[in-house]
Structure 1
Amino acid sequence: MTESDKPETSDNSDNASFELAKAAAQVIEDNNGRDICILDMRHLTPIFDYFVIGTGGSRRQLHAMSEEIDDKLEKELGDRRMGREGYDESRWILLDYGTIVCHLFDEETREYFQLEQLWADAKKVDLTGILRNPGE
């Protein structure tokens, strides 16, 4: 296991963007998304803090995850989405909340772009205690 593959263990509990990232990951899990991960980007770029990545099995599932992330982050947590890309094509939906960016993929597109490898220097957040079934 390389250094970048080790889960992030620092305490992020007081970080508002981390709370948004956790909430988005939980919504993905609640909608039966798979291969969920949060990448800590804070030491790599000043533009955003976290990537939240998940995989869905169908266009309908990706739309549901996207819409429920919007509901959770905007209505319950008071944040506002700054942009959305790929919703109509539904192979890769990108939701930009400024400090976090959610990437929702179908399986083929996620495998093709391999964001975790592209951003290999990002630390993976340990999802134990955040998701019911981390790593699934």
Structure 2
Amino acid sequence: MLLDKIIEGIQILKGKNISILNLKNRKNFICDYFVICDGESSRQVHAISQSIEKITIEKLKIKPWHVEGLKSKEWILVDYISIVVHIFQQDIRLHYKIEDLWN
């Protein structure tokens, strides 16, 4: 349910290239899923993070445990403990290739 609402929050603001990495079967990993997406600008990246938070609070009464990257808005991480969301600007996502680290 939380995963569905996170995806909904991304899609509302037209986040692109949504990837869901299932990490449940990885030993000693602290979360079950990574959700990764990108936006075209720092403004869109920030808006996507706000959309995710708004939906999860309104629909599920769940707030993120921690949020990072709000100053630079190049890579915002929204941590729900079991699900960690990475919202990148497109060029930053291409640079870090985070999916390649965990696939």
Band the TM-score falls in, shorter-chain normalisation: over 0.9
- In structure 2, the residue matched to 1:115 is 98
Secondary structure of 1:94's match? strand
- Candidates 99, 110, 131, aligned match of 2:82: 99
Secondary structure of 1:101's match? strand
- In structure 1, the residue matched to 2:69 is 86
Q: Which runs of 5+ in 2 are unaligned?
A: none
- In structure 1, the residue matched to 2:34 is 51
Correspondence 1:76 to 2:67: no
Greater helix proportion: 2
Q: Could you tell me how far apart the structure 2 residues matched to 1:64 and 1:48 are?
A: 24
Deviations 1:77-130 (A, max 9, x none): 12121111111101100000111000000011101111110001xxxxxxxxxx
Q: Kindly state the Cα deviation for residue 26 of structure 1 after the two structures are TM-superposed.
A: 1.9
The correspondence of residues 20-39 of structure 1 with structure 2, limited to 5 A, is: 20-39=2-21
- Give the partner amino acid of 2:96: F
TM-score (norm 2): 0.92
TM-score (norm 1): 0.71
- Report sequence identity in percent: 35
Question: Are 2:8 and 2:52, in contact at CA under 8 Å, matched by a contact in 1?
Answer: no
Q: Kindly state the Cα deviation for residue 28 of structure 1 after the two structures are TM-superposed.
A: 1.0
The number of residue pairs the alignment matches comes to 102
Q: Could you tell me how far apart the structure 1 residues matched to 2:98 and 2:29 are?
A: 18
Larger Rg: 1
Deviations 1:24-44 (A, max 9, x none): 112111211110111111111
Q: Could you tell me how far apart the structure 1 residues matched to 2:94 and 2:65 are?
A: 26
